Each structure stands twice: as C-alpha cells, then as structure tokens.
C-alpha cells in the first residue's frame, strides 16, 4: 500500500474516518472528502501528526460537479488515484408506507448517487493505475429486511452498480470490491432517519449485534490488499445466504421477522396520511 493514493468519501466520521487513519498508517496518501471542512481538518491533523499525508477536499457527494472537483483535486495534488473508497451515507429505519417521498429521495441521492458520482469521475484515473474501487454497502443491500426497505433499496442499487463494474472493468485490471457490514458502532447509529427524513429522537433498538468499527476496518483493508470482490461482516452471513439459495427465503424470513418483532420501532408522531 506504500505510496498509493486514496480518495475517501464520508471521511469525517465512522468507517470512512477510521479507514483513512488506518491506510495513512500503511503509507497511503489520503484525500479526505465530506461536507464539513472543520471535521475533515481534525482527521487530517491526526494523520499528519502521525507522519502521514492528507488532503482536505470538502465535498457534497450528491453533487456531480463537487465529486468531479474532488477527484481532480486529488490527482492534481498527488499525481494519481489508486483507490476510491465510497463511504458516505445515511441510515434510515422506518415502515415504507409511512415514509415520505422526499425522505426516500434524499436517502437514494446520498447513498446511491453519492456513490455513483465519484465512481464515474474516478474510473479513468483508476484505470490508469489499475487500482481499486470500493463501496461500503450493507447486509440489507444483500437481503431484504423489514423497516429497512428504503435504506436497503439504496444499498441494493450500490451492490448492482459495483457488481456490474467489476465485470466491465476487469479487462482494465481494475479491482472492484463491496464491503457489506451489519450494524456498526459509528456515529451514524445515533442519527438514524425516521419516516419524515429527520433523525429519531431516540435511536431505534438494534435487532442484531452491533460490531466494532475496527472489525470493519480490518476486513476492508484486507479486501483492498487481496483485491477481493466482497466482504460480509459478520462472515457467517455468507453461508447463510448461500443456504437460502437451496432452501428458499422462508427460514431467513422467519428469523428476521422474529428478531424485528422483539425490537419494534417506537411510535412516530408524524404518520403519513392517505392521499
């Protein structure tokens, strides 16, 4: 990894921030992209304090032009782009029929278009270096889950995009990987959106185990180093998904529905009325 250049979106907190610090420690030069410049400065200071190289590129990933500028600024500063890590995103947990269309569109813009835009602009540069495109998705982007219909749809879209790119770009030597964790202990857990598109006052209960962010970072870095196509966290989910291919979805449906009944959503004071 020594001497490579990585552009990381969502680098101001959570998985993006943790991966940025880890890769910088491995000798990767980092371009940090997120909306809040002050928070990016904190991450850059941490990296530079430990002897690493960091560039701040304030970016709203829902704007295609802003993503173009982030990619071009990275290449201007470091001379190349070896890794694009798309980690920016928001989480939502809400019953689909109660969720406003405005909130749905916002989640899709941030999670899907916020991955598509920087990827589209980065591809020519990553082809030149035979580098890597990596997206942070979610297990709900691999398997339908109640009250995660909107969030899951945005991650299914990321999954479809990157699986297609893996095949399209293979002949150019580009590595394309997808990291799909379950619940992770990041600040995002405290800002889960409700049906009106605003964060829940009290974050909804988590139906499954919350994994430490270091677990995700370890797996993501290994995916990069070994140029793997996919990482699921926890790993035992992969054989379970394979089992569903033989048995059908009934067992998974039963397990998931049972867990979610035990951890229901709290009532919401703004329920959508029929039109």
Active-site residue 151, yes or no? yes
Residues near 107 by Cβ (< 8 Å), separated by ≥ 6?
90, 92, 150, 151, 154, 193, 197
How far apart, in whole angstroms, are the C-alpha atoms of residue 34 and residue 126?
20
User: How far is Cα 109 from Cα 193, in angstroms, rounded to an integer?
Assistant: 14
By CB neighbour count within 10 A (0-12 exposed, 13-18 middle, 19+ buried), where does 269 fall? exposed
* Residue 189 to residue 36: CA distance in whole angstroms: 19
According to DSSP, the residues that pair with 132 across neighbouring strands are: 83, 175
Catalytic residue, chosen from 117, 148, 151, 162, is 151
- Given a contact cutoff of 8 angstroms between Cβ atoms, the answer to whether 65 and 57 are in contact is no
Residue with tokens 């409700």, as numbered in its chain: 194
User: Which residues, 6+ apart, have CB-to-CB distance to 244 below 8 Å?
Assistant: 143, 251, 252
Give the residue numbers marked as catalytic: 151
């Amino acid at each position: 990894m020594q001497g490579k250049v990585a552009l990381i979106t969502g680098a101001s907190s959570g998985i993006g921030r943790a991966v940025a610090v880890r890769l910088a420690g491995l000798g990767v030069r980092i371009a940090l992209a997120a909306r809040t410049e002050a928070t990016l400065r904190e991450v850059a200071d941490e990296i530079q304090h430990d002897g690493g190289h960091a560039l701040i590129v304030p970016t709203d990933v829902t704007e295609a032009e802003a993503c173009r500028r982030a990619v071009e600024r990275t290449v201007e500063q470091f001379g190349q782009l070896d890794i694009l890590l798309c980690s920016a995103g928001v989480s939502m947990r809400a019953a689909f029929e109660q969720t406003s269309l405005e909130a749905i569109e916002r989640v899709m813009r941030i999670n899907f278009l916020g991955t598509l835009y920087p990827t589209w602009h980065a591809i020519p540069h990553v082809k030149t270096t035979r580098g890597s495109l990596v997206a942070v998705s979610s297990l709900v982007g691999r398997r339908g889950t109640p009250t995660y219909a909107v969030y899951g749809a945005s991650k299914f879209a990321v999954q479809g995009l990157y699986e297609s790119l893996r095949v399209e770009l293979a002949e150019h030597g580009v590595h394309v990987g997808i990291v799909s964790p379950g619940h992770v202990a990041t600040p995002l857990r405290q800002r889960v959106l409700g049906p009106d598109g605003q964060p829940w006052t009290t974050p909804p209960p988590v139906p499954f185990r919350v994994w430490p962010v270091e677990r995700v970072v370890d797996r993501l870095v290994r995916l990069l180093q070994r140029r793997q196509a996919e990482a699921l966290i926890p790993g035992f989910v992969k054989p379970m998904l394979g089992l569903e291919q033989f048995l059908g979805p009934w067992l998974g449906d039963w397990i998931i529905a049972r867990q979610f009944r035990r951890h229901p959503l709290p009532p919401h004071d703004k329920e959508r009325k029929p039109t």
